[in-house]
């Protein structure tokens, strides 16, 4: 595994399976009365958030704390960044305080890559979402959720997603979740189909390892999982689609459409959901929708990533032995 986690495309199949397997072990910690491991005691991690994202930051923070790391939260708003301080200065300042890892969320595509490769800092860099580029831990938690639901919690250990048919629907053009998922799911052997109006698909998509369709209804019966991507209402002002209603009619998931999916198929959403836009409340609140489960899985995945990137060669989770005592 590489030293940093910048893009889902950097993970090999074995890297990814190792992360998913480790996350299963981490998940068991969450079932214990004391949800804490000593693994990263004495290590300092900064959550460097240049973009508002309460849910991702909280998820990382929970993961870091469960691994006993010291956590520093840094948000750009109200900081020296809003007074014109550069990414480089901010990162170097934090590192001078003895940070071992930087979890970075940034509005500019490539900012984590720059941080990891420009020689500015030595710390491990974990991408928590950059612009419209990548969000690797999101795709890992999505894959984790799929493996649990479609292969099985125990049966899934050591397995990938070979042959699973995954459909992503919505604003692919502006979505780092879509890019990360296409890369990771392909690596894990899944067959990915992207469904969107042509305006919300990037020029140049033809080289991506996936199928592209404009027809949601035709794709649903052939899907083991359908992931709905958030569509921001502002997009219609830039003529990406005529109206919210038209978008919902053609690309939104409602109860009728959900009924076209195979019995076992799940509905996923990375959140935050725009109810009434890409997904109806009926679907969002149904048994088949894994949105809440994905949030819980996010903590396990982030624990696994932090452990594998920062824990070095120490034994993995030792809680089984702790329990034995």
Partner 1 sequence: MSKILIRGAKVLGGEPQDVLINGEVIEAVGTGLSAEGAEVVEAAGKVLLPGLVDLHTHLREPGREDSETVLTGTRAAASGGYTAVFAMANTFPVADTAGVVEQVYRLGQEHGYCDVQPIGAVTVGLEGKKLAELGAMHDSAAGVTVFSDDGKCVDDAVIMRRALEYVKAFGGVVAQHAQEPRLTEGAQMNEGIVSAELGLGGWPAVAEESIIARDVLLAEHVGSRVHICHLSTAGSVEIVRWAKSRGIDVTAEVTPHHLLLTDELVRTYNPVYKVNPPLRTERDVLALREALADGTIDIVATDHAPHPHEDKDCEWAAAAMGMVGLETALSVVQETMVDTGLLDWAGVAQRMSFKPAEIGQAKGHGRPVSAGEPANLTLVDTAYRGQVDPAGFASRSRNTPYQGRELPGRVTHTWLRGKATLVDGKLT
Binding footprint of partner 1 on the chain (CB under 8 A): 86-88, 106-111, 113-114, 117-118, 130-134, 176, 179, 202-208
Q: Is 325 annotated as a binding residue?
A: no
Closest approach of Cβ 231 to partner 1, in Å? 17
Q: Is 318 annotated as a binding residue?
A: no
Q: Is 230 annotated as a binding residue?
A: yes
Q: How many CA atoms lie within 13 A of 237 on its CB side?
A: 3
* Closest to 39 in 3D by CA, of 101, 126, 96: 101
Which CB, 204 or 315, lies closer to partner 1?
204
Residue 60 CA to its chain's centroid (Å): 11
Closest approach of Cβ 281 to partner 1, in Å? 31
Closest approach of Cβ 215 to partner 1, in Å? 21
Q: Is 294 annotated as a binding residue?
A: no
Q: How many CA atoms lie within 13 A of 264 on its CB side?
A: 12
Closest approach of Cβ 182 to partner 1, in Å? 10
Q: Nearest 5°: phi and psi at 139? A: -70, -35
Which CB, 13 or 88, lies closer to partner 1?
88
Q: Is 271 annotated as a binding residue?
A: yes
Q: Is 275 annotated as a binding residue?
A: no
Closest approach of Cβ 88 to partner 1, in Å? 6
Closest approach of Cβ 120 to partner 1, in Å? 8
Which CB, 87 or 283, lies closer to partner 1?
87
Which CB, 107 or 255, lies closer to partner 1?
107
Which CB, 207 or 243, lies closer to partner 1?
207
3-state secondary structure the chain: CCCCECCHHHCCHHHHHHHHHHHHHHHHHHCCCCCCCCCCCCCEEEEEECCCCHHHHHHHHHHHHHCCCEEEEEECCCCHHHHCCCHHHHHHHHHHCCCCEEEEEECCCCHHHHHHHCCCCCCEEEEEEECCCECHHHHHHHHHHHHHHHHCCCCCCCCCCCCCEEEEECCCCCCHHHHHHHHHHHHCCCEEEEECCHHHCCCCHHHCCCEEECCHHHHHHHCCEEEECCCCHHHHHHCCCCCHHHHHHHHCECHHHHCCCCCCCEEECCCCCCECCCECHHHHCCCCECHHHHHHHHHHHHHHHHHHHHCCCCCCCCHHHHHHC
Q: Is 55 annotated as a binding residue?
A: yes
Q: Is 176 annotated as a binding residue?
A: yes
Closest approach of Cβ 239 to partner 1, in Å? 10
Which CB, 98 or 107, lies closer to partner 1?
107
Which CB, 20 or 227, lies closer to partner 1?
227
Known binding residues for carbamoyl phosphate are: 55-56, 105, 135, 138, 271-272
Known binding residues for L-aspartate are: 83, 176, 230
Known binding residues are: 55-56, 83, 105, 135, 138, 176, 230, 271-272
């Amino acid at each position: 595994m590489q030293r940093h986690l910048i893009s889902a495309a950097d993970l090999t199949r074995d890297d990814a399976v190792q992360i998913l397997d480790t996350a299963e072990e981490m998940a068991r910690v969450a079932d214990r009365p004391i949800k804490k491991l000593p693994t990263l005691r004495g290590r300092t991690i900064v959550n460097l958030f240049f973009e508002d994202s309460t849910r991702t930051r909280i998820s990382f923070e929970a993961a870091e704390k469960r691994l006993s790391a010291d956590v520093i939260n840094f948000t750009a708003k109200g900081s020296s960044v809003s007074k014109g301080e550069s990414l480089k200065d901010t990162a170097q300042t934090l590192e001078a305080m003895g940070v071992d890892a930087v979890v970075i969320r940034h509005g500019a595509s490539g900012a984590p890559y720059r941080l990891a490769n420009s020689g500015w800092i030595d710390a491990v860099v974990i991408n928590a979402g950059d612009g419209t580029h990548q969000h690797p831990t999101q795709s890992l938690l999505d894959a984790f959720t799929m493996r649990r639901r479609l292969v099985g919690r125990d049966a899934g250990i050591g397995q990938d997603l070979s042959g699973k048919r995954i459909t992503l629907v919505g604003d692919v053009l502006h979505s780092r979740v879509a890019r990360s998922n296409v890369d990771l799911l392909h690596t894990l052997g899944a067959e990915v189909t992207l469904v969107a109006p042509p305006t919300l698909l990037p020029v140049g998509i033809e080289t991506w390892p996936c199928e592209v369709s404009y027809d949601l209804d035709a794709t649903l019966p052939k899907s083991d999982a359908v992931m709905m991507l958030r569509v921001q209402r502002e997009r219609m002002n830039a003529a990406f689609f005529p109206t919210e209603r038209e978008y919902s009619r053609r690309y939104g998931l409602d109860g009728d459409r959900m009924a076209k999916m195979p019995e076992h198929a799940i509905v996923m959403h990375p959140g935050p959901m725009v109810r009434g836009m890409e997904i109806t409340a009926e679907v969002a609140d149904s048994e088949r929708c894994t949105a809440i489960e994905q949030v819980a899985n996010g903590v396990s995945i982030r624990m696994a990533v932090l452990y594998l990137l920062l824990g070095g060669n120490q034994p993995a989770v030792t809680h089984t032995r702790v329990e034995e005592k």
